Structure 1
Amino acid sequence: MYKLSLLLIAGLLSNSALAQLSSVEKGLINQVDHNNPEAVTLLKDIVNINSGTMNFSGVKKVADRLIPEFEALGFNAHFEDGSAFNRAGHLIAEYKSGKGPQILMIGHLDTVFEADSPFQHFEMLDNNMAKGPGIADMKGGDVIILQALKALHQANELQGLNIRVVMTGDEELNGRPLAKSKQALVDAAKWADIALGFENGDGNPRTANVSRRGSVDWTLTISGHASHSSQIFKDKVGAGAIYEASRILNQFYQQLRSEPLLTFNPGRIMGGTTVHHNKMNNSGDTFGKNNVVAQSAIVTGDIRAASLEQLERVKDKMRKIVADNLPQTQSVIEIGEGYPPMGATDGNQQLLSIYSNVSQDLGQGQVEAVNPLNAGAADVSFTAQYVSMALDGLGMSGTAGHTVNETGNMVSLPNQTKRAALLLYRLKTMAK
């Protein structure tokens, strides 16, 4: 019942209704500014802890640094062990106050920079920019979550909100099976009305994500009839595995590329008389001769779709293309698990409108939706089908993520925190 009423309230909300900041909101802004030096110190501390996904102890050290901060705000916080999915685990913090919106806030503790990376330390480049592993993706976002909640706590405005924070330890390299790796997110989403993701989106504070395309892997395995090349195309020999792979990929290209917001990419192909594929390290080896018809081929790739309906439609098309074999060949496509799409629902658009109003009232300008073609998959996608509203890209602005030149815009740290604090406050007041 609450989810439906919140959607109606959001739909009826006009810009003029939120044109002026209340005294409480002005107090929240002042509190964020007052706390910002502590926020910078916290960001520096956690950036300087290496938490590459496979550095389990490092991921847990980041959680250990953050858990007391949540506890000081009245949250019950703990680290959930990830041995069941071969990762460090997740930080989960909960605040329950009875009636009011149930909001999931999503971050992640891990980075792409493992313990042997040359990129390990926080460094101020000038008054506005800092450099460091994971500073924007997404330790800055983690600090924004905490600092927004801290401002609300100091203003005695957490009451009337029910918050669950999930900071995963495997966003950059998912544990398997995904059903266990993402269980904490899914459970939280089933509980929540609203999901807020604090990834840095496209790095532009004037945008946020109302949709994200999913990412699903596929593997195409093809077998043909080995023979001397002089016999290719004869009835008993047929076309061979490599021609069959070429046919399938060309048909994928011809039949699927008109799908809006869809991309599908063959990232690796191997073919010959024998093929050995090492899935664990994305490599393999082949043997073949120019005068022998190829007996085997393997192609691997991904699909990025904008909705579950589009994904299912595309999977059906791919299976039909694969099944239409050339003579004396057989092909099988296996479509694996991955990130589901986050569709651009009416609820997500309404939540963006509320967030954009907050930004304009703060003097930070309008916030528009990111083009899904410019947005990769993220943890929020696992929650989107369960909540009435979802929004992502609320984190710290930055550039060159996943590289040793990753930077964060330090001005965006308090600015994004103010947006988050006021968004939470307004979601609470709308629900009354």
Structure 2
Amino acid sequence: MSAPGARERDAIAHVREAPMLANTLAWAGVNSGTGNLAGLAEMAERLVGAFGALPGTCRLIDPAPAERVTAGGRVEPIAHGRHLHLIVRPEAPVQMLFTGHMDTVYPIDHPFQAVTELPDGRINGPGVADMKGGLALLLAALEAVEAVGTPRLGYEVVINSDEETGSFSSAALITAAAQGKVAALTYEPALADGTLAGARGGTGNFSIVVRGRSAHAGRNPEDGRNAIVAASDLAVRLAAAKGPGLAVNPARIDGGGPNNVVPELAVLRVNFRPASREEIARAQAVIDAAVSAVAREHDVRIEVHGSFNRPPKPVDAGAERLFALVREVGADLGLAIGWKATGGVCDGNNIAACGVPVVDTMGVRGGAIHSADEFLIPESLAERAALSALTILRIADKGRP
């Protein structure tokens, strides 16, 4: 543990003057649910105005094509908002990546739209923790780093518009930005007590379309092929694959119709949470075997859509070094930094899969995310911005975590 030097003290002082709470409140006032394209466009322009004040090239990138399966079994494109991409000093010898997301889980018609201050001083509002506050402190940290001068450091910032639904239209952008980086920081919220996420499992989401044959339920049911029954059988078989390293959640079956008609269509939605790449392979084998058996035994056609879009994120040697640096910086700031494994996923999973050490909960302290009780602890803005600024400066000075 050591006291911050003059340069670091200057960065901390700069952070304390940044309008992080004002930015958080203003940005949380914009509904930017993943499907609200108008709100995302407004949010993107505001972020370009803010992050565009940093040196380098800041622009909005069109989303890559993405698809979804409708309740009727059709595959159709999904529209997404544009993604912010900032590149600063790409010729510098030390390169880092910073990521965040501008979208929230609250659609335009969700009842949770207002920001309020709670009696204990916490801020309750849509996206204040996840992650409008994180974006505000990232901006403050980078402004502080630029203010004290870091010619050896170059970096990219990616703020996507679809993280909450899997980053399907931004994954390629993040992967490209991760190349050649010595470390990455992502601004998902920490827990209320400051605990960071360590190892993460992966995730895979699938929509499995089952096509049977309709028939009269009373006159000739034997001529039908019941897609609902087949989909249910498939759900049970997939659920049976769960184990210590694999959670399986058949979440929904779309389909069916009048009681007197054998249903010819069903769509099974299922989520997998593998703890390792070996569990991904096992899950894929289970899917293949179950689909083949159900198709044969129920005489139905089955189409599988989806993928394991978030690989598991272990804490490897590189991540251990980065976490150790963050803990060291925290100690110098009087903060106790700890971390623990979590079942949640984020863009940190994809960054780690590129071989880049990442700490993906460098955002505010808060909690109850994805609910109308979401809250931000406002004093954590300056606290965590200082943590980021000093971490970045030390990586720039050392050339690595």
TM-score interval, normalised by the smaller of the two chains: 0.7 to 0.9
2-structure distance, mates of 1:117, 1:42: 22
Q: 1:85-135 CA distances to partner (integer Å, 9 max, x unpaired)?
A: 522201111211633321111111122233333433333224631122211
Identify the match of residue 110 of structure 2 among 113, 117, 138. 117
Q: 1:359-393 CA distances to partner (integer Å, 9 max, x unpaired)?
A: 22221113123x232x2x22233322213312211
Work out whether 1:161 is the aligned partner of 2:153.
yes
Contact 2:129 / 2:375 at 8 angstroms: preserved in 1? Answer: yes
Gaps of 5+ in 2: 67-78
Deviates more, 1:138-147 or 1:50-59: 50-59
Work out whether 1:32 is the aligned partner of 2:19.
no
- Secondary structure at the counterpart of residue 146 of structure 1: helix
Distance 1:195 1:307, change over 3 A: farther
2-structure distance, mates of 1:298, 1:124: 43
- Equivalent position of 1:108 in the other structure: 101
Identify the match of residue 251 of structure 1 among 237, 249, 268. 237
Work out whether 1:329 is the aligned partner of 2:299.
yes
Shift of 1:245: 4.5
Aligned length: 386
- Secondary structure at the counterpart of residue 59 of structure 1: helix
Shift of 1:26: 2.8
Shift of 1:204: 4.4
Q: Any residues of structure 2 matched to 1:57-72 within 5 Å, and which?
A: 57-72=38-53
Contact 2:364 / 2:376 at 8 angstroms: preserved in 1? Answer: yes
Identify the match of residue 329 of structure 2 among 358, 376, 382. 358
Counterpart AA for 1:315 = Q
Q: Any residues of structure 2 matched to 1:212-227 within 5 Å, and which?
A: 212-219=201-208, 221=210, 223=212
Counterpart AA for 1:359 = G
Shift of 1:409: 0.9
1-structure distance, mates of 2:238, 2:188: 32
1-structure distance, mates of 2:216, 2:6: 82
- Equivalent position of 2:72 in the other structure: none
Distance 1:367 1:293, change over 3 A: same
Work out whether 1:198 is the aligned partner of 2:187.
yes
Contact 1:97 / 1:159 at 8 angstroms: preserved in 2? Answer: no
Shift of 1:220: 5.3
Distance 1:229 1:49, change over 3 A: closer
Q: 1:206-241 CA distances to partner (integer Å, 9 max, x unpaired)?
A: 223443422322415264896989999xxx989966
Contact 2:209 / 2:265 at 8 angstroms: preserved in 1? Answer: no
2-structure distance, mates of 1:296, 1:94: 48
Distance 1:124 1:331, change over 3 A: same
Q: 1:133-166 CA distances to partner (integer Å, 9 max, x unpaired)?
A: 211111011111101111112222x321111001
- Secondary structure at the counterpart of residue 376 of structure 2: strand
TM-score, normalization by structure 1: 0.78
- Secondary structure at the counterpart of residue 286 of structure 1: coil
1-structure distance, mates of 2:368, 2:177: 31
Contact 2:329 / 2:391 at 8 angstroms: preserved in 1? Answer: yes
1-structure distance, mates of 2:204, 2:192: 20
Distance 1:331 1:201, change over 3 A: farther
- Equivalent position of 1:278 in the other structure: none
- Equivalent position of 2:342 in the other structure: 372
- Equivalent position of 1:183 in the other structure: 172
Gaps of 5+ in 1: 1-17, 270-282
- Equivalent position of 1:320 in the other structure: 289
Q: 1:232-288 CA distances to partner (integer Å, 9 max, x unpaired)?
A: 9xxx9899666654544333333x22241x21111123xxxxxxxxxxxxx544234
2-structure distance, mates of 1:298, 1:98: 49
Distance 1:367 1:328, change over 3 A: closer
Work out whether 1:129 is the aligned partner of 2:97.
no
Shift of 1:403: 2.5
1-structure distance, mates of 2:117, 2:306: 42
Identify the match of residue 361 of structure 2 among 383, 388, 393. 393
Contact 1:193 / 1:387 at 8 angstroms: preserved in 2? Answer: no
- Equivalent position of 2:320 in the other structure: 349
Contact 2:64 / 2:170 at 8 angstroms: preserved in 1? Answer: no
- Secondary structure at the counterpart of residue 312 of structure 1: helix
- Secondary structure at the counterpart of residue 99 of structure 1: coil
2-structure distance, mates of 1:293, 1:119: 41
Work out whether 1:47 is the aligned partner of 2:28.
yes
Contact 1:222 / 1:245 at 8 angstroms: preserved in 2? Answer: no
Contact 2:33 / 2:39 at 8 angstroms: preserved in 1? Answer: yes
Counterpart AA for 1:316 = A
- Secondary structure at the counterpart of residue 263 of structure 1: strand
1-structure distance, mates of 2:98, 2:24: 18
Shift of 1:167: 0.5
Deviates more, 1:416-425 or 1:50-59: 50-59
2-structure distance, mates of 1:296, 1:31: 60
